[in-house]
Structure formats: structure tokens, C-alpha cells
């Protein structure tokens, strides 16, 4: 009987149209330093679109928070070179977190400009939606800069609907996916 090479949960090989091979996997504590180093690979617009402000470096505190998600309420995935955690360059990060006291999760995705437009954001978003459905949540949403049309289009293509931002924050839109479990 032939044995199948099975990937661990939440792991997936991803081959971009450019030919670049990446491993999508859960973030690990040892990804902190490479993530901080790779932060320089993200352009100012990408960082602003994700953090909704100008951020020049990833603080130790933020890296610690990203690399140590609470498995009951959060998932953080990276798309990295197929090397051991701690050595691999990280080209994308996707995160979803359950909002305390609700059945909602907020998502955020950051993809390097070197990997943008190759389907990686879509694949990461699909994984976040799968996670949220597995948690039997009612909805998943993300706050997106109003001028970040590629992310709005990606979310809309996956069934997310644009709704007014609840705080009325200028320059932001909220994309919401109702999760029919």
C-alpha cells in the first residue's frame, strides 16, 4: 500500500504563477525575527493598508502578539519560503481573531508587493474563512482603507459585502461575510 505524503493541519504548498514556491502554514514563535526583517519588504502603502497608519518597523511587542496567537480565538498564517521556521523569509501574513463576547471574527492580510496579484491573498483569505466556519462564527469582517481597491475586490469576489464602517471612520470601509454554517 502506498503511503501518502500528508501535510500537517493548515499547511499547504502554494505555487505562484511566477513559479515561486511558498509554504502556507501557521505562524510559529521562531518566525518573529524573520517577520521583523521581512517587514522592510513590505511597501509603505501595503503597511498603511494593513495597519491603517504609517508604521516603519514591526515592534517586538507586535511580533510577539502575531507569533503567539491564542489557538482558541485566533489563527495566524504565514506564506514563507519552504525552509524551517526562523530561517524562512515571510512574504505574507494573514490573521483572524474572534471579537470577545461576539460570534464575529476580524481578519487582516498583508502580502508583500513582490507576491501581490498572484492569488496568494485569495488563498489566505479562503483559509481564514474556513477557520471561521470551523469555529461556527456568524460573520467575519475586515476594515480596509477606502483606497485599497484590490483588497475590496478580493473580499467581494469571495462573497464579502461592503457596509458602512460602524464608527464612521473616514477613509475606511468594512467588508463583511455572513457565515451560514
For residues 147-156, average pLDDT: 91
| Confidence at residue 172, expressed as pLDDT on a 0 to 100 scale | 87
| Confidence at residue 45, expressed as pLDDT on a 0 to 100 scale | 60
Considering the domain boundaries, does residue 6 fall inside one? no
- Looking at the structure of the chain, the number of domains it has is 1
CA atoms within a 13 Å half-sphere pointing along the CA-CB vector of 2 = 3
Highest mean predicted confidence (pLDDT) among 2-11, 74-83, 89-98, 121-130: 121-130
pLDDT > 70: what percent of the chain? 86
Q: What is the 3-class SS of 4-59, one letter each residue? A: CCCCCCCCEEEECCCCCEEEEEECCHHHHHHHHHHHHHCCHHHHHHHHCCCCCCCC
Check pLDDT > 50 for residue 73: yes
Greater confidence (149 vs 114) lies with 149
Query: Hey, what's the cell of 92?
Result: 505574507
Phi-psi sector, 168: left (phi>0), alpha (psi -120 to 50), beta: left
Output the average pLDDT for the chain: 85
Considering the domain boundaries, does residue 66 fall inside one? yes
CATH of the domain at 33: 3.40.630.30
pTM of this structure:
0.86
| Confidence at residue 87, expressed as pLDDT on a 0 to 100 scale | 80
pLDDT > 90: what percent of the chain? 48
Considering the domain boundaries, does residue 47 fall inside one? yes
Please report, for the chain, how many H helices and E strands are present, in that order.
5, 8
Considering the domain boundaries, does residue 2 fall inside one? no
| Confidence at residue 181, expressed as pLDDT on a 0 to 100 scale | 60
Highest mean predicted confidence (pLDDT) among 60-74, 79-93, 155-169: 155-169
Greater confidence (4 vs 107) lies with 107
Flag the least confident range among 74-78, 96-100, 113-117.
Answer: 113-117
| Confidence at residue 177, expressed as pLDDT on a 0 to 100 scale | 98
Considering the domain boundaries, does residue 4 fall inside one? no
Task: Provide the domain limits for residue 23.
Answer: 12-178
Considering the domain boundaries, does residue 129 fall inside one? yes
CA distance 87 to 130: 28
Check pLDDT > 80 for residue 66: yes
Considering the domain boundaries, does residue 141 fall inside one? yes
Amino acid at each position: 500500500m502506498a503511503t501518502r505524503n500528508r501535510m500537517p493541519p493548515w499547511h499547504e504548498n502554494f505555487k505562484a504563477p511566477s513559479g515561486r514556491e511558498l509554504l502556507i502554514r501557521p505562524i510559529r514563535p521562531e518566525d518573529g525575527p524573520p517577520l521583523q526583517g521581512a517587514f522592510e519588504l513590505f511597501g509603505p502603502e501595503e503597511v498603511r493598508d494593513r495597519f491603517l497608519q504609517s508604521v516603519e518597523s514591526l515592534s517586538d511587542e507586535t511580533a510577539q502578539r502575531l507569533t503567539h496567537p491564542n489557538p482558541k480565538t485566533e489563527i495566524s498564517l504565514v506564506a514563507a519560503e519552504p525552509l524551517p521556521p526562523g530561517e524562512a523569509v515571510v512574504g505574507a501574513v494573514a490573521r483572524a481573531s474572534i471579537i470577545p463576547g461576539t460570534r464575529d471574527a476580524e481578519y487582516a492580510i498583508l502580502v508583500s508587493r513582490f507576491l501581490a496579484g498572484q492569488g496568494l491573498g485569495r488563498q489566505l483569505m479562503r483559509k481564514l474563512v474556513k477557520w471561521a466556519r470551523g469555529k461556527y462564527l456568524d460573520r467575519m469582517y475586515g476594515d480596509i482603507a477606502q483606497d485599497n481597491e484590490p483588497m475590496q475586490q478580493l473580499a467581494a469576489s469571495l462573497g464579502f459585502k461592503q457596509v458602512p464602517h460602524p464608527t464612521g471612520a473616514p477613509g475606511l470601509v468594512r467588508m463583511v461575510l455572513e457565515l451560514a454554517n
